[in-house]
Amino acid sequence: MNYSFEYIDIILLAMIAGFIFLRLRGILGKRTSFHEKLSTDFKQEFQKETIKKNLENQTFDNSAQLEFLKGAKIAYETIITNFASGNLKNIKLLLDKKIYTQFNDAIKDRKEKGHTSETTFIGINSAMIKNHQKKNNILEVTVEFVSEIISTLKDKDKKILSGSPDKIKKVYDSWKFSRDLRSLNPNWLLIDT
């Protein structure tokens, strides 16, 4: 009598497995005779078409300018604080090669002299687009920043060379950002300070 329950369990499990198989086949479908390979050029053609549409649809209207300024403020603070701490790895993707080289040389010079920079970023008072222009497929935007920073430069003996740890100073900067409109990468690069 114990053996009959084992057979019933096996039959019951087989019925459940069959039911699940039929449900999956109904949901997922079955393989048909269409086995043609997709073109390997599809990805390239799709990207070219996407870039072409993006170029046609991109305008630097008021909403695009407001969105840009939000990102520019974040980039400004990030670049200032990372440069002051000597950490260019975090901002390398935000800098043009020329600017990266200039920043890197300045940090090396500071380290060779044994100087340390201490910067506390208070905030941005204003950020305003001074001008923007499209050259071929490159959009360049110049932004004027007014910010407040506490900054000191100290020598190897911790003697203050410039700045003050207690005084907030107003900083007026004009930075130029650039972006290739053909690129799928949404990042802007700092190309001039």
Over residues 54-104, the pLDDT tens digits come to: 544 567 788 888 989 999 999 999 999 999 999 999 899 999 999 999 999
Token look-up 């009598």 returns 1
Instruction: Convert the pLDDT of each residue in 92-149 to its tens digit.
Output: 999 999 999 999 999 999 999 999 999 999 999 999 999 999 888 889 999 999 999 9
If one compares 36 and 185, the residue with the highest pLDDT of the two is 185
Evaluate the CA torsion angle 164, 167, 172, 176 in order and state its sign: positive
pLDDT of residue 29: 66
Can you give the pTM of this predicted structure? 0.68
Q: What are φ and ψ of residue 120, in 5° steps?
A: -115, 120
How much is the average pLDDT of 5-16? 81
Query: What residues are paired with 153 via a beta bridge?
Result: 117, 162
pLDDT of residue 30: 62
pLDDT of residue 80: 94
Alpha carbon distance 141, 59 (integer Å) = 13
| Domains annotated on the chain, with CATH | 49-192 (3.10.450.240)
Do residues 91 and 78 touch, judged by C-beta distance below 8 A? Answer: yes
Alpha carbon distance 95, 13 (integer Å) = 63
If one compares 7 and 131, the residue with the highest pLDDT of the two is 131
